[in-house]
Structure 1
Amino acid sequence: MNSISWLWEVPLALLSLVFFKVSKFAIGNLFTVYLAIAKGKASQWRVLSQETIDTPLSLPVLMTKGPRWNTHAVIGTLGPFKVTSTISLNLEAAYKSSDSWIVVIYSFPGYKTVTSIESNLVSSDSSWHTVKLQLGKYSLGVRYYNYSEQISYPAVKIDDEQFTNTYLINSKVNDFYHNLINYKNWFYLSLHYYIYVILKYRNWLPESFVRHEYLPVGSPDTFFHYSYLAKNQALLVDIDSNIIEGFDIYFTYYDRSSLPITWCMITETKFSLPPQLVNGYYLLRIRPKPSVTKATNKTDRSLDRSIFAAASQLHSQCLEQNSSIQHWQISN
């Protein structure tokens, strides 16, 4: 590491951070106005796809509201909509579409997580699942992992009134990720320049600040491991065998614009990424396997809770780091 590189990296990172916050505020307000005008789209499932990327304003919105792209899940959103007391979802569509899924209810327009419904924490005995909410405006986000060839998003009722029907989509919807790097430009690089710097110097920063700036809003039973990776620096990760057996591990590597370059599932106790041609950063999402957490009776529900606790007990440790390699261990 260049010992004096901070002299220009830190000032540029501060400018980038301010630019990101201002852009996020401005673009977010524009998107809120758009949703208020295009009220008809509020009752339609909007699934992240190439069509979404081609829509004006969509990519800037995504690059400011959810820039750590989840290349492993099919993602759909719904809303905003007004709720007086309850929202109900027909989860039969979710169970048929995916072994592992999560529904997140957000406040609107603040996009704060209100609550979530997770495949490993609800019973599949009943098709409809109802959540009580306070009077207000909300939106939904649904992520399908380990998805099937037939994918559909659930029918939704608001205050016992039908709001939207089941929505079928193509299982190849995530193919757009392979070309997303082609959208790289100075604007996105300027937005996310600071991320590489705060990860590089995270030992000198509050960890809560680094987590807040880098991590997506994830399920409570998801463990995240992340770091920067310098150009021509290899990555090695050792993972305990019991974690491989009990968890699905999703890896994504991003360039400095926060656009995904490569991704995969990790299924072995030793994972290696060869040196990359560009500086960037990576993210591991570690979620309990659906085969371990599937709820079928009260005994299984107790197991769900123990797995939920186990995810929070995972931790990562750097074993070696120099100009040519980063070597990490993930254990519990």
Structure 2
Amino acid sequence: MTNLELFWEIPLSILSFIFSRILRFVMQTIGGYFTSKKNTKNLQWQLVSAEFLKKPIKLIWAMSRARWNLHAIISLVGPIQVKELISFDASAAKQSAQSWTLVVYSLPDFETITNISSLTVSGENQWESVSLKPGKYLLGLRYYHWSDTVEQPTVKADGVKVVDAKQINAPTDINSFYRDLIKRKNWLHVWLNYYVFNLLRFKQWLPQSFVKKVFLPVPNPETKFYYGALKKGESIQFKLAPSLLTSHDLYYSLYSRECFPLDWYKITEAEHRTSASDQKSIYIVRIHPKFERNALFENSWVKIAVV
């Protein structure tokens, strides 16, 4: 990036960041209002899909809240009113996917409270529960390595069933709809995430806690993240310890500057180089344990370089 580019890139990125914070606040305020009014009865799981994101407001909400996880089937349900305990049918999750994570978010601020996963339970109990403070919560369910048919599980709040189970067909390309989202790009999406490229390009000059909180507002607690920015023509070179590939899954995701999905796949080689980016873009590498939550992990096992 030349000095001339920096002359407009930095001011525009600062304005974009301010705009994104204002938009998040407005949407959180509106969301809080509707959450308080929404009936907590007759709740149903919602699959993140083309249909779920059909309304422009839903797409903006999703792009302002998180970075797309393109490697999992994601379902959401809420608001669930809880006094003490929330429970769900873990046996349904076990039958649906080799690896799964259920994350509990507080409403209306969408803070991550806790999670249960295939890595934290024995697999012997049909029901798994989490103790919570009184309030309203959103559940986010992620299925990795899913079966042809998956079940969104039954959920109970304080022992009373509040969400019914639902089965859905889950072909291997169920997430292919993400590739079409960029066709809906407009000026609002550009301004919302224009700052992200420079946030990551110059992340070494910024507090790492700040970069992570801004870029990954609702990360999976069990996943390790590596992320950065690519200029046109650049690619990523991976050098990984073979033992890492035995104990962890590695997922690579490439996004446009506006954070629309461009490409994603699982990395299975100790040495791998991605295709050169044809535009300014950003990437995320997710490293998720296969078998144990506290699986041995050494930072030296992962070498990622932009070339």
TM-score of the superposition, structure 2-length normalised?
A: 0.93
**CA distance in 2: counterparts of 1:22 and 1:190, whole angstroms:** 12
1:37 offset after TM fit, Å?
4.2
Q: Which residue of 2 aligns with 1:134?
A: 133
**Same amino acid, percent of matched pairs:** 34
Residues 276-287 of structure 1 mapped to structure 2, 5 A cutoff: 276-287=277-288
Q: Which residue of 2 aligns with 1:88?
A: 87
Residue identity opposite 1:189 in structure 2 = V
Distance 1:150 1:110, change over 3 A: same
Aligned residues: 305
CA offsets, 1:218-252, max 9 Å, x none?
A: 33331111110001112211111111121111111
Q: Which residue of 1 aligns with 2:255?
A: 254
1:48 offset after TM fit, Å?
0.3
1:315 offset after TM fit, Å?
6.6
Residue identity opposite 1:182 in structure 2 = K
Residues 9-48 of structure 1 mapped to structure 2, 5 A cutoff: 9-39=9-39, 43-48=43-48
Name the Cα RMSD after superposition. 1.9
Q: Which residue of 1 aligns with 2:75?
A: 76
Distance 1:263 1:180, change over 3 A: same
Q: Which residue of 2 aligns with 1:6?
A: 6
Residue identity opposite 2:264 in structure 1 = W
Q: Which residue of 2 aligns with 1:213?
A: 214
Q: Which moved more, 1:277-286 or 1:51-60?
A: 51-60
1:40 offset after TM fit, Å?
6.2
Q: Which residue of 2 aligns with 1:50?
A: 50
Q: Which moved more, 1:161-170 or 1:14-23?
A: 161-170
Q: Which runs of 5+ in 2 are unaligned?
A: none
Residues 40 and 79 in structure 2, CA contact (< 8 A), matched pair in contact too? no
- Say which structure is richer in helix: 1
Q: Which residue of 1 aligns with 2:267?
A: 266
1:314 offset after TM fit, Å?
6.0
Q: Which moved more, 1:133-142 or 1:165-174?
A: 165-174
Q: Which residue of 1 aligns with 2:163?
A: 164
Distance 1:314 1:220, change over 3 A: farther
1:274 offset after TM fit, Å?
1.8
**CA distance in 2: counterparts of 1:56 and 1:268, whole angstroms:** 38
1:288 offset after TM fit, Å?
1.1
Residues 308-323 of structure 1 mapped to structure 2, 5 A cutoff: 310-311=296-297, 313=299, 316-317=302-303
CA offsets, 1:70-126, max 9 Å, x none?
A: 110111111112111111101111111111111111111111111110111111101
1:277 offset after TM fit, Å?
1.6
**CA distance in 2: counterparts of 1:212 and 1:177, whole angstroms:** 24
1:142 offset after TM fit, Å?
0.7
